[in-house]
Amino acid sequence: MRIIAAASRFGARACVWVRGKFSCVTVVVLTGATRGIGRAAAIELARRGAEVALVGRDPERVKSVAEEATAAGGRRIHGHVADLRLMSNIRALADEIRGGYEHVDVLANNAGALFASRNETPEGFEQTFALNHLAPFLLTNLLRDRLAGGRVVTTASDAHQSGRLDLDDLQSEKSYSARAYGTSKLCNILFTRELARRAPELHANCFHPGVVRTGFAKNENGIWKAVATLGAPFFRSPERGARSLVWLALSNDAAALTGEYIQNEKVVAPSAQAQDDTLARGLWERSAQLVGLPAEARARRH
Ligand SMILES: NC(=O)c1ccc[n+]([C@@H]2O[C@H](COP(=O)([O-])OP(=O)(O)OC[C@H]3O[C@@H](n4cnc5c(N)ncnc54)[C@H](OP(=O)(O)O)[C@@H]3O)[C@@H](O)[C@H]2O)c1
């Protein structure tokens, strides 16, 4: 059953008049919902009564998590399929969401990956930058009006400390190493700060989930897969890793926050580079040009 029309917002939730009854639900769009932190978050959000739009790239995995979320008590669970390395897929996803939901209370940009070697997508973007930064950047911008008054939660990482952002080499053409992952997570924090500045109608925050036992880095062979596999017993559970995401998405305590970096459900300071507002502005401008956002979106609030 689809909700017909949005009426108004109360706190984190949009309230609607459905078939003679006033009903308040929190609509959450969650990327990277098919594994690890996202899967755990999907189940917890469903358990807490949210309407969850699960986004994954594999229809079977999306279906399987939707079944788990429904079994956990979710009554309004939807699936969407998109390869988030591709801007064309993100545009189609945004159209699908815009067509299917009158309002979105929370966009959780959680999908992400580490790639040991440099590869370009068919659209010509380096894939770490495309998936980890351009995807949340574009999806958020395309859904911005649907999100008015709502929350944007982006899964960043303490690995941002190792990042080095060069605005003249966003695609790592000069050199590529696993540091590109740290740089993409630095981009998540800079994006969050700049979004909070440009979109005062939103609450935009990001978080480090801890070191979590997930599928992360297992897409790679060699040292990264070995570290992820051997270290697993010492890492956090996906449920613990998802806690800050759920907290930022639903809690009253997080309702007043914007532009913050969160760890263990507390505001912490990220690296000095992650607090550089000139860098944040430059990243926004160049990202907008790369994904072809209109000039108005590029110039907004300057
Ligand atoms: N694990 C950690 O210790 C850790 C620490 C700090 C931050 N993080 C961040 O946490 C987030 C979630 O990672 P995780 O640890 O839960 O890893 P994970 O288990 O590998 O989950 C990653 C999720 O992203 C999805 N994804 C990957 N590539 C995609 C693509 N091209 N298009 C659409 N979806 C795609 C995966 O889908 P599939 O199921 O199709 O693969 C999966 O649902 C990432 O942003 C990561 O950077 C993780």
Say what the pLDDT of residue 15 is: 64
Q: Residue with the nearest Cα to atom 40 of ligand 1?
A: 57
184 CA: nearest ligand 1 atom: 47
Q: Residue with the nearest Cα to atom 8 of ligand 1?
A: 157
131 CA: nearest ligand 1 atom: 31
Domain ranges of the chain: 24-295
Q: Which residues line ligand 1 (CB under 6 A)?
A: 32-38, 56-58, 61, 83-85, 110-113, 131, 155, 157, 208-209, 211-212, 214-216
Say what the pLDDT of residue 10 is: 45
Beta carbons within 10 angstroms of residue 278's beta carbon:
8
Question: Is 181 one of the annotated active-site residues of the chain?
Answer: yes
Say what the pLDDT of residue 295 is: 59
User: What is the DSSP annotation of 62-118?
Assistant: HHHHHHHHHHTT-SSEEEEE--TT-HHHHHHHHHHHHHH-S--SEEEE------SS-
What's the CATH class of domain 24-295? alpha beta
- Give the mutation target among 29, 31, 34, 35 for probing the ligand 1 site: most ligand atoms within 8 A of CB: 35
The tens digit of pLDDT for each residue in 107-120 reads 999 999 999 999 99
Q: What is the pLDDT along the chain (302 residues), one digit of tens a residue?
A: 333 333 344 444 556 665 676 667 899 999 999 999 999 999 999 999 999 999 999 999 999 999 999 999 999 999 999 999 999 999 999 999 999 999 999 999 999 999 999 999 999 999 999 999 999 999 999 999 999 999 999 999 999 999 999 999 999 999 999 899 999 999 999 999 999 999 999 999 999 999 999 988 888 777 777 877 888 888 999 999 999 999 999 999 999 999 999 999 999 999 999 999 999 999 999 999 999 997 566 554 43
Q: How far is the CA of 233 from the centre of ligand 1 (A)?
A: 19
- Give the mutation target among 44, 85, 188, 212 for probing the ligand 1 site: most ligand atoms within 8 A of CB: 212
Say what the pLDDT of residue 231 is: 80
Q: Residue with the nearest Cα to atom 9 of ligand 1?
A: 155
User: What is the DSSP annotation of 214-256?
Assistant: SSTTTTS-THHHHHHHHHGGGSBPHHHHTHHHHHHHH-STTTT
The tens digit of pLDDT for each residue in 220-243 reads 777 777 877 888 888 999 999 999
Say what the pLDDT of residue 230 is: 82
